Amino acid sequence: MTSQPNKLAFNSGWQYAAAPEGTDHFSIGKRYGLFINGEFVKPATGKYFNTVNPATEEVLARVALAGDEDVDRAVAAARKAYKGVWSKMKAAERGKYIYRIARILQERAREFSVIESLDGGKPIRESRDIDIPLAAAHFFYYAGWADKLEYAFPGRKPAPLGVAGQIIPWNFPLLMAAWKIAPALACGNTVVLKPAETTPLTALKLAEVISEAGLPPGVVNIVTGAGKTGAAVVDHNDVDKVAFTGSTNVGRHIMMALAGTNKKYTLELGGKAANIVFADAAIDQAVEGIVNGIFFNQGHVCCAGSRLLVQESVADQVIAKLKDRMETLIVGDPLDKNTDIGAINSAPQLEKIESYLKIGQAEGAEMYQSSCSVPKKGYWCRPTIFTGVSQSNRIVQEEIFGPVLAIQTFRTLEEGLTKANNTPFGLSGGVWTDKGSKVFKMTQGIRAGVVWANTFNKFDPASPFGGYKESGVGREGGLHGLGAYLSLD
Ligand code: NAP
Ligand code: MG
């Protein structure tokens, strides 16, 4: 079967009634200071920047821009809290504070979900069902480890490192903050966190939660700003550990800045994962997995399945079904519970994605986009696939970080594996097959930190996450994530 005889007509007869999530159950401040030593303070720079709603281009709030002096103040507060309180506190007590953060996040989950969608453009269904519950789950998980570090590393003497400087991206703002803060605190470190410029709001709301949980002042400090603020955190002499999640390019700069220093570091960087569909796979499930792999969070996902490798004998069938499925995806208002694909996070990111759409076509690939309409205001990109691509194409080799899938075919398992690994990245991968033997062969052969079998984009605080090659250094999550915040003599 290559195409369906009676083409289904989508979006013609009827439409879903709008189902918007409310916004009257919380408030966003007009202006936010820096969260240093347990309180919101004015930045020494005197400067503020806007954070906008990418679905409407409206300004949501003004946020303080931290300069070197502010970062210095935050690191000093973190050092004082480390020496004076946090490293001395009984581990079980530390665990209780982290547990309290998790509980309050759960209680305020609806507020956090809506703010995450407003500030970053992701569909409310995802922030409500994935980002916020997973962020709380990370705090719960690491709260449990706080007084069991000797059991995690038997025969060793786990000790905190000191002050952790942490820098996070805009694609999973609260979740990335949780990935960073929870293990650091559980291990007895204090923190200076720099959220991304376009999505600072949930980190600032998290500062409120941290106050509400009664954490001693200075244990967690949040300094908002752009790349320069991040660089100031990395370069600060009194930071003992740097944890960075972001692009490979910035990761390289950070690695250079850290060379020759005593600072420990973990880098979680970019990806270009292969999602590999064998002919014996359950095709309809695989199509759902392809959609989830590349269109989840507008494709702003480091471990997105942005390359589809499909076995040649089923390629036409898979692509036809995928195109039909793409027609049913609703692109639009992130706060509408029907929405599948929200807004692109920022104007520069949309520009970057659009430049890749041009590059793909110039490279000779065939582009297909779903026919959905998109709102006039805001930043939008229709779900897009490219066929007729070759291994050397830039759209196959480079991370686009948008809802854009490059499709290639393969005949044998070896060819599929070779193509999957032919990339500078190694963060994730996916395999779809009915045969357990193929799952084992592929999961052993794919050089990536995580490989999913007959599913994709599944996360759990107990499983480590991280990359090979240009996808990063070190692991976050699970027991492995503790090791990155401890010295183990
Ligand atoms: P990015 O440009 O590298 O930014 C990441 C963070 O670093 C932001 O907070 C950014 O600040 C800051 N930053 C920028 N320049 C810096 C510098 N010179 N020194 C220190 N910090 C600096 O990446 P992005 O575009 O925000 O995020 C997308 C990338 O993150 C993708 O490549 C994606 O694959 C990767 N990512 C990886 C993982 C993973 O776990 N492996 C998870 C999520 C995302 P501003 O944003 O304020 O400029
Ligand atoms: Mg924003």
pLDDT of residue 160: 98
Dist. CA 273 → ligand 2 center (Å)? 27
Nearest-atom number in ligand 1 for the CA of 246 is: 30
Dist. CA 147 → ligand 1 center (Å)? 32
Q: Give the length of the chain.
A: 489
Beta strand pairing call for 384-387 and 366-369: antiparallel
Q: What is the C-alpha to C-alpha distance for residues 133 and 107, in angstroms, rounded to an integer?
A: 11
pLDDT tens, residue order, the chain (489 aa)? 455 566 666 666 777 899 999 999 999 999 999 999 999 999 999 999 999 999 999 999 999 999 999 999 999 999 999 999 999 999 999 999 999 999 999 999 999 999 999 999 999 999 999 999 999 999 999 999 999 999 999 999 999 999 999 999 999 999 999 999 999 999 999 999 999 999 999 999 999 999 999 999 999 999 999 999 999 999 999 999 999 999 999 999 999 999 999 999 999 999 999 999 999 999 999 999 999 999 999 999 999 999 999 999 999 999 999 999 999 999 999 999 999 999 999 999 999 999 999 999 999 999 999 999 899 999 999 999 999 999 999 999 999 999 999 999 999 999 999 999 999 999 999 999 999 999 999 999 999 999 999 999 999 999 999 999 999 999 999 999 999 999 998
pLDDT of residue 16: 85
Q: Give the up-direction half-sphere exposure of residue 140: CA atoms within 13 A in the CB hemisphere.
A: 13
Dist. CA 444 → ligand 2 center (Å)? 40
Task: Bin 154: left if φ > 0, else alpha if -120 < ψ < 50, else beta.
Answer: beta
Ligand 1: which residue has its CA nearest to atom 42? 302
Q: Which of 235, 245, 397 to mutate to test the pocket of ligand 1 (most atoms within 8 A of CB)?
A: 245
Domains by residue range for the chain, with CATH: 31-269+471-488 (3.40.605.10), 274-453 (3.40.309.10)
Q: Is 302 a catalytic residue?
A: yes
Q: What is the pTM of this model?
A: 0.96
Q: What is the C-alpha to C-alpha distance for residues 279 and 300, in angstroms, rounded to an integer?
A: 28
Write the DSSP symbol of residue 191. E
Q: Is 268 a catalytic residue?
A: yes
Residue spans of beta strands (DSSP E) within 153-306: 158-160, 163-167, 190-194, 220-222, 241-245, 264-268, 274-277
* Among candidate residues 208, 205, 154, 210, the one with its CA nearest the CA of residue 181: 210
* Among candidate residues 254, 279, 277, the one with its CA nearest the CA of residue 267: 254
Q: Which of 242, 250, 470 to mutate to test the pocket of ligand 1 (most atoms within 8 A of CB)?
A: 250
Tally of CB atoms within 10 A around 6 = 5
Dist. CA 248 → ligand 1 center (Å)? 8
Any alpha helices (H) in 108-244, and if so which ranges?
109-120, 124-126, 132-145, 149-152, 173-186, 201-212, 227-235
Ligand 1: which residue has its CA nearest to atom 23? 246
Does residue 311 contact residue 411 with C-beta atoms inside 8 Å?
yes
Pocket of ligand 1 (CB under 6 A): 167-171, 194, 196-197, 226-227, 230-231, 234, 245-247, 250, 253-254, 268-271, 302, 399, 401, 427, 467, 472
Q: Which of 21, 116, 187, 302 is catalytic?
A: 302
